[in-house]
Amino acid sequence: MELSGAEIVVQALKDEGVEFIFGYPGGAVLHIYDALFGQEDVKHVLVRHEQGATHMADGYARATGRPGVVLATSGPGATNLVTGIATAYMDSIPLVVITGQVPTPVIGSDAFQECDTVGITRPCVKHNYLVKDRRKLAETIKKAFYIASTGRPGPVLVDIPKDITDPNIKVPYHYPQSVSLRSYKPKVKGNPRQIRKAADLIASARKPMIYSGGGVVLGEAASELTELTRWLNFPITNTLMGLGAYPGSDRQFLGMLGMHGTYEANMAMHECDVLIAIGARFDDRVTGKLDEFCPYAKVIHIDVDPASIAKNVPVDVPIVGQVKPVLSELISLLKSSGHRPDPDALEAWWAQIERWRSLDCLRYDRESALIKPQYVIEQLWEITGGNAYVTSDVGQHQMWVAQYYRFEKPRRWINSGGLGTMGFGMPSAIGVKLAHPEEEVVCVTGEASIQMCIQELSTALQYKAPIKIVNLNNRYMGMVRQWQEFTYESRYSHSYMDTIPDFVKLAEAYGHVGMRIEKPEEVRPALEQAIAMKDRLVFLDFITDRTENVYPMVEAGKAQHQMRLPPWISTDRELA
Amino acid sequence: MRHIISLLLENEAGALARVASLFAARGYNIEALTVAPTEDETVSRMTIVTCGDERIIEQITKQLNKLIDVIKLLDISGSGHIERELMLLKVRARGEEREEVKRLADIFRGRIVDVTSQAYVIEMTGDSAKLDAFLANLAPGQIIEVVRSGPTGILRGERGLHL
């Protein structure tokens, strides 16, 4: 089969089984757009801004585990993608990003809409290519999918000059079934000797703790994690990225850890003697002050990326491999050896944890006449049974979802954890909804974040993505305001917007349903009403208590056990 | 601690930029970097001289290994190795200086490869410390120009870094 470069791109996507491509046309990709015309196998989703395309593809990838695909033109098209690519990179999300480039002969001449896309994106992709030979196009696209989705996943960009996609020059097309790179051989299985060492250490634990992250979600190892945790009867905490890998309402689950983690999770981390870190990377938002992190613990660290191991925290038993096979191996080894940690010690440890848990650190004022943001999330959780796909933007609302929406299953919690990208929530929810049209998809956001990609409301209408938007409107950039209250003596420097749009009218202007909710008693009926509107996007604008803070909080420079609790909770009084 | 890291990488456009930008982005030091194709034209060999404590060197090697274009790497300073750097040096050589410079170059096994009435160009190889020592022995103000290639290195014995 002889195809032009443009036809090769489209045919390769079909052969790869790509369902959606999120993109925006422009000069350098017009040949590719022409090849997309009139075919239905790969559905093109026309976004309103290229950043939206990356977030939609990212949401799609997080919800399905399959790489999200993006198409944009050269120059500004490519630079608009950068935030979304960096977002995916920080959270190890597989994307294949195809960009047009100016024709090969004019590369380097400052041509119209030229930029060094490969250079600009190099620090925020797993790998990238500039294709200069159309005969290598199909193979390069295959490599991009392979690299993006194996090992520690991540975005891969393929930059294609316009002359390479020339419809008049055809070359033989062959899409390889598989590719192999001599310089890239991601590890699958863990070293058996290390796994044995880990099993021995686990058996000797008296105050064990399991700390798992996004790697368990990405590595499809939630059931192995759950099996291991239950069999050992160990306490477990999840990182922001790892929520849902272990059932959120289970007794052994201590909630999220870290800067806004629960009291019991952070205390158990601090006091534990054996820490089992699984698919997590000891991010600074987790560890707090490094010198005082888990001071009594021997650390086992399982991760597919060797560079994540011993990067921030010294590790006693490093295991490089995919979490799923490593956990299976570990489980069978533990079960066959019959070694279990001392049950009396474990019982005493659980008693201690229950004392910490009795503090009920997430309690808030349920009698308030104002809408408490936590209440909105709790109601959302109840109504959806913990099974909705929930995306978020970045800030207080994100932390409240992490704390109050107890995710029962993996891939349901979709947020920008590493880069912390405002504007991520709504477009990523569209990507999720397109992947799972029958599932409930909710974007929890704030009035500041939502305005960063608001134009995608139009895309949601065109492609029938009836997501629900829960806007926790406190008229502040809430997390900025909170830091200013705590560390800048309440000097609220530019964290307040004097002019906020009427979101009801805004939603209506985009062809959707808008609702404004101002009283606590209206919260639940409004959510129920919105969810009942199956085929409409509903924008729920909740006017919340603007002074509410996220607690507990490990402030910058503090150790994980030095949490700031809400003023209405006292450890001295309640744990005495 | 000074380390010499040898890499084999795909001879692809941008491979050097990936390595250099990794060092810049993560704040690692590069004291010297050399790169050239090998007997296999699809493979380049790079030698990086860097410094840092054990933890940093471990991260550097891990992060380099993560680059898709990097095929193999080895910290050769960890075992017996030979290190060589080429220096081309232009020095003032007038009157009595001429004999003195020549004698010194001979002691260091340098070769004078260009001569004018006012100056010599000296070619010298050795490990970096030897070249430093030669420079330290010249009289102040005598050096007109120094060009150093940066070190390259190879393991002793039969063991080698190859595909």
Give the per-residue pLDDT at A339: 79
Q: Which of A136, A183, A184, A313 is the best substitution to test chain B (most B C-beta atoms within 10 A)? A: A183
pLDDT tens by residue, A294-317: 999 999 999 999 999 999 999 999
Task: With beta carbons under 8 A apart, name residues in chain B contacting A123.
Answer: 21, 25
pLDDT band for A575, please (50, 70, 90 cuts): confident
**Cβ distance of B59 and A130 shorter than 8 Å:** no
Q: Which of B62, B65, B68 sits opposite A181 (nearest CB)?
A: B68
Give the per-residue pLDDT at A286: 94
A252 SS3 class? coil
Residue of B nearest to A151 (CA): B66
Give the per-residue pLDDT at A225: 98
**Cβ distance of B63 and A307 shorter than 8 Å:** yes
d(CA A5, CA A11): 10
A498 SS3 class? coil
Task: With beta carbons under 8 A apart, name residues in chain A contacting B55.
Answer: 310
**Cβ distance of A183 and B13 shorter than 8 Å:** no
* Chain A residues with a Cβ under 8 Å from any Cβ in chain B: 118-119, 122-123, 126-127, 130, 147, 181-184, 305-307, 310-311
* B57 pLDDT more than 90: yes
Give the per-residue pLDDT at B163: 85
d(CA B99, CA A199): 72
- The whole-number average pLDDT for the span A57-61 is 98
- The whole-number average pLDDT for the span A132-138 is 97
pTM (predicted TM-score): 0.96
d(CA A61, CA A69): 9
Task: With beta carbons under 8 A apart, name residues in chain A contacting B21.
Answer: 122-123
Neighbours of B139 (CB within 10 A): 12
* A340 pLDDT more than 90: no
Using CA atoms in the order A234, A239, A242, A247, what is the torsion angle rounded to 10 degrees? 40
- The whole-number average pLDDT for the span A66-78 is 98
A113 SS3 class? coil
Give the per-residue pLDDT at A576: 67
pLDDT tens by residue, B84-122: 999 999 999 999 899 999 999 999 999 999 999 999 999
Q: Which of B21, B71, B163 sits opposite A123 (nearest CB)?
A: B21
pLDDT band for A378, please (50, 70, 90 cuts): very high
Do A245 and A216 contact (CB within 8 A), yes or no? yes
Range list of β-strands (E), B70-159: 70-75, 81-92, 111-115, 119-126, 143-148, 152-155
Give the per-residue pLDDT at A204: 96
Give the per-residue pLDDT at B140: 87
For A521, the token pair is: 């008693």
pLDDT tens by residue, A7-49: 999 999 999 999 999 999 999 999 999 999 999 999 999 999 9
For residue A314, give how far its alpha carbon lies from the nearest alpha carbon of chain B (Å). Answer: 9
Give the per-residue pLDDT at A15: 98
pLDDT tens by residue, A182-218: 999 999 999 999 999 999 999 999 999 999 999 999 9
Residue of B nearest to A147 (CA): B68
Beta-carbon pairs below 8 A across chains A and B:
34
Cis peptide leading into A25, omega within 30 of 0? no
For residue A218, give how far its alpha carbon lies from the nearest alpha carbon of chain B (Å). Answer: 18
Task: With beta carbons under 8 A apart, name residues in chain A contacting B25.
Answer: 123
**Cβ distance of A311 and B13 shorter than 8 Å:** no
Pairing of strands A441-446, A468-473: parallel
| Strand order across the beta sheet in which A298-303 lies | A253-256, A236-238, A208-212, A274-278, A298-303, A317-320
pLDDT tens by residue, A229-275: 999 999 999 999 999 999 999 999 999 999 999 999 999 999 999 99
Q: What SS3 string covers A121-155?
A: HHHHCCEEEECCCHHHHHHHHHHHHHHHHCCCCCE
d(CA A13, CA A41): 9
Secondary structure element (H or E) that encloses residue A52, with its range: helix A50-64
Give the per-residue pLDDT at B116: 96
For residue B76, give how far its alpha carbon lies from the nearest alpha carbon of chain A (Å). Answer: 20
Q: What's the Cα-to-Cα distance from A312 to each of A11, A26, A280, A290, rounded to whole Å?
A: 44, 43, 12, 8
Integer-rounded Cα radius of gyration of chain A: 25
* A342 pLDDT more than 80: yes
B114 SS3 class? strand
Q: What's the Cα-to-Cα distance from A345 to each of A208, A246, A330, B27, rounded to whole Å?
A: 10, 24, 22, 45
Of residues B84, B83, B86, B76, the one with CA closest to residue B160 = B76
**Cβ distance of B14 and A122 shorter than 8 Å:** yes
Residue of A nearest to B25 (CA): A123
Integer-rounded Cα radius of gyration of chain B: 19
Q: Rounded to 5 degrees, what are φ and ψ at A423?
A: 100, -5
For residue B9, give how far its alpha carbon lies from the nearest alpha carbon of chain A (Å). Answer: 8
Residue of A nearest to B21 (CA): A123
**Cβ distance of A183 and B70 shorter than 8 Å:** yes
d(CA B51, CA B157): 25
Show which residues of A are catalytic.
Answer: 50, 112-113, 162, 479
Neighbours of A108 (CB within 10 A): 10
Q: What is the DSSP letter of A553?
A: B
pLDDT tens by residue, A471-507: 999 999 999 999 999 999 999 999 998 899 999 999 9
* A360 pLDDT more than 90: yes
Fill in the amino acid letter for A243: L
Residue A575 CB partners (closer than 8 Å, separation 6+): A355, A356, A358, A359
Mean pLDDT of chain A: 97
* A386 pLDDT more than 70: yes
Q: Which of A118, A183, A305 sits opposite B68 (nearest CB)?
A: A183
**Cβ distance of A130 and B55 shorter than 8 Å:** no
For A360, the token pair is: 């009920």
Task: With beta carbons under 8 A apart, name residues in chain B contacting A127.
Answer: 68
Q: What is the DSSP letter of B82?
A: E
Give the per-residue pLDDT at A492: 96
pLDDT tens by residue, A144-191: 999 999 999 999 999 999 999 999 999 999 999 999 999 999 999 999
